[in-house]
Amino acid sequence: MAGDAIRRTRFAPSPTGLLHLGHAYAALIAAQEASPGQFLLRIEDIDRDRCKPEYEAAIYDDLLWLGLDWQHPVMRQTDRMDAYQDALTQLAPLCYPCSCRRGDIRAALSAPQEGALPAGPDGLIYPGTCRHRPMDETGPDDVIRLDTARAFDALGIENLSFRDECILPDQDHILSRDEFLDGIGDVILSRRGMGTSYHLAVVIDDAEQGITHITRGKDLFDSTWIHVLLQKLLKLPTPIYHHHRLIRDDSGKRLAKRDDARALRHYRDDGTTPAQIRQMLNL
Ligand code: GLU
């Protein structure tokens, strides 16, 4: 799928709340960057406790109101659990089960040092307590982590790289193996009771949907290293990235789903038009 010349982008919201202005910007940029190719939609609903059908319905409704149109069928991550399981099986020789809770990790990390604990795009840098455990001892309360050092060894590479159309577009972004180990660490590929993680699911689904250009907020820039590593391990193509600016409120804070005041629904109810929304977003 990804081998053809069609430019494909996607918008991948999680139905955990109403879409706000930041989502409108992300969706409009993705649709604009698809032109003249295809704009796809993916519902990222692996967090079953937080996702709600009414929020998914609101996503379609708000996107249609904005004037967007997307390819069908829409991909929904909860329909894709078998694909995530296949990938986990493939990566199992490079993984280990981990029973550490956040408190255990904090305690292990704070022992040798004082001050802020080291963290990266997947949270605290895991100190490796469970790294010796074999996969056949995985229990129901374990998460699955990637042994990142072993993953780099298996690939026989010292650096990862990707291109971004928006941030320093004329050069490759490069991260070394050591920078990955120190700044990101052993990432979680399957969360407790979830059967996957955001990072694993997004990589597999972007490949399955044949996405050639991934447009998303700058806040996910550092996560892209995890995605590029997983693409290499799973022999999937690395798309071109486009990490765009974030929409902030008047005090400079990034918008979150709980900020109801910025929900598109609220603007709609107040009589704002889609054209005015575009104007507010400088589009
Ligand atoms: N589902 C993610 C979110 O709502 C988007 C992930 C992505 O674009 O890669 O933030």
The residue ranges of every structural domain in the chain are 8-280
22 lines ligand 1 (CB under 6 A): no
Cβ–ligand 1 distance for 75 under 6 Å, the answer no
Q: How far is the CA of 244 from the centre of ligand 1 (A)?
A: 13
* CB-based contacts of 202, cutoff 8 Å, min separation 6: 12, 44, 227
Strands (E), 132-270: 143-146, 159-162, 173-176, 188-190, 213-217, 240-244
* 159-162 vs 123-124, strand pairing mode: unpaired
Whether the CB of 62 sits within 6 Å of ligand 1: no
Q: Which of 164, 196, 198, 213 has most ligand 1 atoms within 8 Å of its beta carbon, as the pocket-test mutant?
A: 198
Query: Atom 10 (ligand 1): residue with closest C-alpha?
Result: 13
Q: What's the CA gap between 245 and 160, in Å, rounded?
A: 23
Q: What atom in ligand 1 is closest to the CA of residue 217?
A: 8
* Residue 44 Cβ < 6 Å to ligand 1: yes
Return the pLDDT at 261. 64
In this structure, the residue with its CA closest to atom 3 of ligand 1 is 13
Structure tokens at 95: 């993984």
Residue 195: CB within 6 Å of ligand 1?
no
Q: List 38's β-bridge partners, or say none.
A: 8
Q: Which residue in the block uniquely carries the two structure tokens 């649709």?
A: 31
Ligand 1 in reach of 83 Cβ (< 6 A): no
Blockwise average pLDDT, block size 10, the chain, 283 residues: 75 96 97 95 97 97 98 97 98 98 94 84 97 97 98 98 97 98 98 96 98 97 98 98 91 72 90 96 93
180 neighbors 229 (Cβ within 8 angstroms): yes
Specify the CATH superfamily of domain 8-280.
HUPs (3.40.50.620)
DSSP 251: T
